Structure formats: structure tokens, C-alpha cells
Amino acid sequence: MNQYLYWGKKCVIMGATMLASVLTTTSVFAQPFPNKPVKIIVTAAPGGTTDIASRALSDVLGKELGQSVIVENKAGGAGIIGIQALLAAPADGYTMAMGNIGPNAINYSLYKNLPYKMEDMEPVTIVIANPNVLVVNPEIPAKTVAELVALAKANPGKYSFASSGRGQSIHMSGELFKTQAGIDIIHVPYKGAGPALADLLAGQTSMMIDNLPSSMQYIKSGKLRALAVTSKNRVAELPDVPTMIQSGYPNFEVTAWFGLFVPAGTPKPIIDKLYAAVKKSLETPEIKQRWKDLGGWAVGDTPANTKLFIAAEKKKWELVAQQAKIEAE
């Protein structure tokens, strides 16, 4: 009888423990998302468009989510370091990365042992897209693309172009320019557009086909001279600057984009909630005006459509790498 009483009591205790565990787990998952600050990992150094877009969006997005949005730079390795930091985080929606055309499309063609795959991430949405712009240090005696090409052809190997790192759209735009213009200019990669711009402004490099948002302030202040934009049409904020197409390069059209990603395995309801909050943020007058001032535009397509878009971009830049004869490292 005592033995039965002992086992009966033990079963009651075990049942109560299991019930408490279930209730605790249920209460955790029942908590609304987000219930703590959300982090955006910036895959580039301060000063570039990836960073500018992240910081501009963070305050507005924080209001939509009802939580603080923390921005943290993880620069280097053509965005690889930032992506690795994202993938090391739990797939719970509290860590996103602001990626871009480089680490999220171009890198797959340029690195043999890339430590991540497209399938390792889920896109939330593209937050901003913009053309690139060919800018030169004012000391360079060229006022047009034709004059710059003539200068480079007369001095093979003398002039250099800065980039935010191997595989970024800034680098690939420079390679495209070299190929289409038939010029010999030296590529100088940096750990982000910010450091690249600093050296261009200081005259350490000659030119750069930068993302327009990060160069806009220097163009308007006269510290850099804009020769052409890479969009199909001229940019309203720079009406006197022609396109590369108008400058004699009919196949030169590049659009850079910047978007938010989460680790694969993040629950769909959480991705959907993040997307809804980002979409609302992009529709605010504050962000619309900020993007316009930067020469860009909001995108905000669904996660499913964004995934299809990125897959197409990956194929497009594979072809560009082949045409430029850039071998994978």
C-alpha cells in the first residue's frame, strides 16, 4: 500500500512539473513579437549607403514595432563578416541584416568558398534602390565621361578607381566601365564606401562609381564632380548630370539595392510582421523624402517577390563577372 502511495505521489509531482513546463513555454510563445529591442547588422562600414539607409530607417521602424531598433556595423570581407554575424544569431526575428547587391547577389560568383548560401537567409524586403554615379576628384581634369576615357587611354595604369570592396556594385560598376570603355585603371578596394570616399576626397584615388546616396552630399558641396549616373534616366536631384547611356554607353545600366534579411528558419508570422512594419515605415513622408533627397526610391515588395528578384540578380551578375573576366577567389 505504501508502495502504491509512493508512486501515486510521484506521478502527481511529475504531472505538475510537466504542466508547469508547458504553461511556461506557452506563455513565452504567447508574448507578442517584438518584446525587446531589435538589431540591424550593417554589412558595411559607416558612411556608405548600407549604413545611411539602416540608420535612417531605424527610428521610424522602431516606432512601428514599438521597440528600439539598434544599428550595429559589422564591416569587412565584402559584406561576408556581417552576413556571418546574422547567421550566428537565433532565427527569432530579433536580428536582421541590412544586406545589399554585393553580399546577397554578386558574392556568389566571386568567392569559391563563400561561407553561406542564398538558402541560409530569408529576405524581408528591399528598402531602397538607387543608381550609382561616376564621380571624380575635382583635381582630375575631366568634365565628361568622354574626357575621362580619353585621359585614361592616354595614361594607361595611371588612374585608379575606389570601391567599397570586392564584389560590391561599386566594384562591379568600375569593372563594367573598364570593359566597355577599354581603359586600364587600377581597382583599389576598401572596407566600405565611407573609407573609399575619404581617400577619393583626399585625392588618394582618381574616381569611383559610388552608390548615389553616399556621394550626394559631396557632389552638392562641390567636393566631388559627378560625370554620369548609371540609371536609365537622369536623376531629378542632379538634372545636369547625364546618364552613362547618354554618355555613349548604351548597355551601361546599374541599379544598387539594399534590403533586410533574417536567418533561415525564422517563423513566417514573424517575417510577415517585420515586413508589415518595414512597409509602413517606407510609406511615411519622412522616409519618402529622405530617400528622394538621396537620389533613391523605396521598394518594399513582399518577401516572396523579393526572393525571386534576388535570384534573378544573382544570375545577372554572374554574367557580368564572366564578361569582365573576374575569376572567383
Q: What is the pLDDT of residues 122-181, one digit of tens each?
A: 999 999 999 999 999 999 999 999 999 999 999 999 999 999 888 888 999 999 999 999
Q: For residue 5, name the pLDDT band (cuts at 50, 70, 90).
A: very low
Q: What is the pLDDT of residues 21-78, one digit of tens each?
A: 444 444 444 579 999 999 999 999 898 899 999 999 999 999 999 999 999 999 988 8
* Same domain (yes/no): 173, 152: yes
Query: 44 with 50: CB under 8 angstroms?
Result: yes
Q: For residue 324, name the pLDDT band (cuts at 50, 70, 90).
A: confident
Query: 304 with 268: CB under 8 angstroms?
Result: no
| Alpha-carbon span 319 to 321, nearest angstrom | 5
Rounded (5°) CA angle 235-294-104:
100
Joined together, the cell numbers standing for residue 327 give 575569376
Query: Average pLDDT of the chain?
Result: 90
Q: For residue 112, name the pLDDT band (cuts at 50, 70, 90).
A: confident
The set of residues, in sequence order, having a beta carbon less than 8 Å from that of 19 and lying 6+ positions away, is: none
Kindly report the CATH number assigned to the domain that includes residue 177. 3.40.190.10
* Same domain (yes/no): 116, 54: yes
Kindly report the CATH number assigned to the domain that includes residue 43. 3.40.190.150
* Same domain (yes/no): 118, 261: yes
Q: What is the pLDDT of residue 316?
A: 87
Q: What is the pLDDT of residue 173?
A: 92
* Same domain (yes/no): 119, 179: no
* Same domain (yes/no): 54, 137: no
Q: How large is the C-alpha radius of gyration of the chain?
A: 24
* Same domain (yes/no): 155, 124: no
Looking at the structure of the chain, the number of domains it has is: 3
Q: What is the pLDDT of residues 301-323, one digit of tens each?
A: 999 999 999 999 999 889 888 87
CB-based burial, 136-167: b 16+ in 10 Å, e otherwise: bbeebebeebeebbebbeeeeeebbbbbbbbb
Residue 328 belongs to a domain: no
Residue 329 belongs to a domain: no
Q: What is the pLDDT of residues 203-223, one digit of tens each?
A: 999 999 999 999 999 999 999
Rounded to an integer, the average pLDDT of 98-114 is 92
* Same domain (yes/no): 13, 153: no
* Same domain (yes/no): 26, 173: no
The set of residues, in sequence order, having a beta carbon less than 8 Å from that of 192 and lying 6+ positions away, is: 44, 45, 46, 47, 48, 50, 51, 75, 164, 165
Whether the model pTM is above 0.85? no
* Same domain (yes/no): 158, 95: no
Residue 237 belongs to a domain: no
Q: What is the DSSP string of 164-208?
A: SSTTSHHHHHHHHHHHHHT---EEEE-SSHHHHHHHHHTTSSSEE
Residue 210 belongs to a domain: yes
Q: What is the pLDDT of residue 30?
A: 56
Choose one of 229, 248, 282: the last residue of a domain.
Answer: 229
Residue 252 belongs to a domain: no
Choose one of 213, 229, 245: the last residue of a domain.
Answer: 229
Q: Which domain holds residue 82?
A: 38-129+257-323
